[in-house]
Amino acid sequence: MLQYIVAAVAAVGVVAVAATLFRLAKKGSDDNDAGGPSAGHAGAMLSAMFLLVFAIAIIVPWTTADTASQNTQTESQAAVEAYWSASGLPGTAPALVRAGLRDYITFIVKDEWPVMQRGSMDPVGTERLDALRARVDALQVTTDQKEARTAVLDHLAAIAAARAQRTADAAATPPDGLLALTIITGLLVVLFPFLAGARPRGLALLPVVAMAAMLGFGIYLTWDISHAFNGPLAVEPEAYKSALQEFARISGGV
């Protein structure tokens, strides 16, 4: 943050030095007009800056939400593949592994998703997945069954990797200072006509009010979509619900 403040102060210093030098050199002419070249240039640059910051504030969360959605598909599909592969395990292991997968996915949908909406993860999910992996790894298998155990472990590893990515997605937020910069530039765009010396009245004030309302809505939107699992762009647990339905189909409705 200190670097940003220093950069802003340095830029203001450049303007002050330039104004002083041109005044001493008696170059140019005074510009006190609210619609003059100084105000026009500054207004255009402020508008461009706001649009740039606003675009970044929209694109970053949108991209994060899209990535998070794809990752939920990856994790749920890995769970389905593990469910299929469990059939080749010995003894009662298929039923136990499949029950563990059902419990894990059900836990995500019912218990973990509300926690993710607050930007964190429930450590219980990791504990359940680790316990399931350890249980499969400890199985005593024949040569013919090793392939099935390896396949299940590979799919569980894929689930763990997707879970790690989901943890990052849940905690992801826009770059530091981006929302604050969006608010600041938005306020400057709204207040600029008054800062430039204009005093809009009557019908001339309506466009300014409409612009302020739209900018306020846009700034609120950038805050509202800042989390991948909460807000208008929120990723829903549909992929995991579909996995539970697939589990039931594979097990013949059980």
DSSP letter for 36, please: S
pLDDT tens, residue by residue, 9-37:
665 565 566 556 555 665 655 555 555 55
Q: What 3-state DSSP class applies to 227?
A: strand
pLDDT tens, residue by residue, 40-94:
666 677 788 888 888 888 888 889 999 999 999 999 999 999 999 999 899 899 9
What was the pLDDT predicted at 24? 62
**C-alpha–C-alpha distance, residues 169 and 63, integer Å:** 11
Render the burial of 208-237: b for 16+ CB within 10 Å, e for the rest.
Answer: beeeeeebeeebebbeebbbbbbeebbbeb
In this model, does residue 130 exceed pLDDT 60? yes
- Under the banding of pLDDT at 50, 70 and 90, the label for residue 39 is low
In this model, does residue 191 exceed pLDDT 90? no
- Under the banding of pLDDT at 50, 70 and 90, the label for residue 4 is low
What was the pLDDT predicted at 194? 76
What was the pLDDT predicted at 180? 84
> pTM value?
0.77
Average pLDDT, the chain: 83
pLDDT tens, residue by residue, 209-218:
888 888 888 8
